[in-house]
């Protein structure tokens, strides 16, 4: 075992980890943290855990990230939250290496989608792509809330 979460530092890590050149690991927890709505954390190669960001679920902040992270060349992290945001249907966020979080997009849960289970990928010019579980065409199949979308967020 490398590390055991205690609750205030996060709980229920559900996604894969990423690793930097120094061997440090980065990931998310779905729950726990200072506000109880999940965290982004770093685990040093020496086994020291640091919470980089705690999601509050308030004032447009996302909550409950259950997908992994990606990292750009500048060291910024990108990910999704399953709930929260301005409309309650999730967010795509950017987190600086210093822990400054920026919501890049808040989904409405309607035509633009909502509730992403997976994270995002990034192309060479910085566009982010991902999928949502719900939203999109409200007349698809038997789903009243849509069957999901593939989205793109420009830098």
Domains of the chain, residue spans: 18-153
Tens-of-pLDDT digits for all 155 residues of the chain? 999 999 999 999 999 999 999 999 999 999 999 999 999 999 999 999 999 999 999 999 999 999 999 999 999 999 999 999 999 899 999 999 999 999 999 999 999 999 999 999 999 999 999 999 999 988 886 666 889 999 999 98
pTM (2 decimals)? 0.94
In contact, 9 and 33? CB cutoff 8 Å: yes
- Determine the pLDDT at residue 145: 81
What pLDDT is attached to residue 105?
A: 96
Q: Give the pLDDT of residue 142.
A: 65
Q: Would you say domain 18-153 falls under CATH 3.20.20.210?
A: no
pLDDT (0 to 100) of residue 143: 64
Please state the three-class secondary structure of the chain as a single string: CCCCCCECCEECCCCCCEECCCCCEEEEECEECCCCECEEEEECCCCCEEEEEECCCCCCCEECCCCCCEECCCCCEEEEECEECCCCECEEEEECCCCCEEEEEECCCCCCCECCCCCCEECCCCCEEEECCECCCCCCCCCCCCCCCEEEECC
Report the alpha-carbon distance of residue 64 to residue 85 in Å, rounded: 11
Closest CA to 133 of 72, 90, 101: 90
Residue 50 — φ and ψ, nearest 5°? -130, 130
The pLDDT, as a whole number, for residue 139 is: 84
pLDDT at 84: 94
């Amino acid at each position: 075992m490398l590390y055991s979460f205690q609750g205030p530092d996060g709980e229920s890590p559900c996604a894969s980890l990423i690793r930097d050149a120094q061997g440090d690991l980065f990931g998310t927890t779905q729950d726990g943290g200072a506000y109880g709505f999940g965290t982004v954390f770093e685990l040093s190669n020496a086994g020291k855990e640091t919470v980089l960001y705690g999601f509050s679920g308030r004032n447009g902040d996302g909550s409950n990230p259950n997908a992994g992270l990606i990292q750009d060349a500048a060291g910024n992290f990108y990910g999704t939250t399953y709930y929260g945001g301005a409309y309650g249907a999730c967010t795509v966020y950017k987190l600086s290496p210093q822990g400054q979080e920026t919501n890049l997009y808040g989904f409405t849960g309607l035509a633009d989608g909502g509730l992403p289970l997976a994270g995002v990928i990034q192309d060479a010019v910085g566009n982010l792509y991902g999928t949502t579980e719900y939203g999109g065409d409200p007349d698809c199949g038997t789903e009243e809330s849509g069957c999901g979308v593939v989205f793109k967020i420009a830098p």
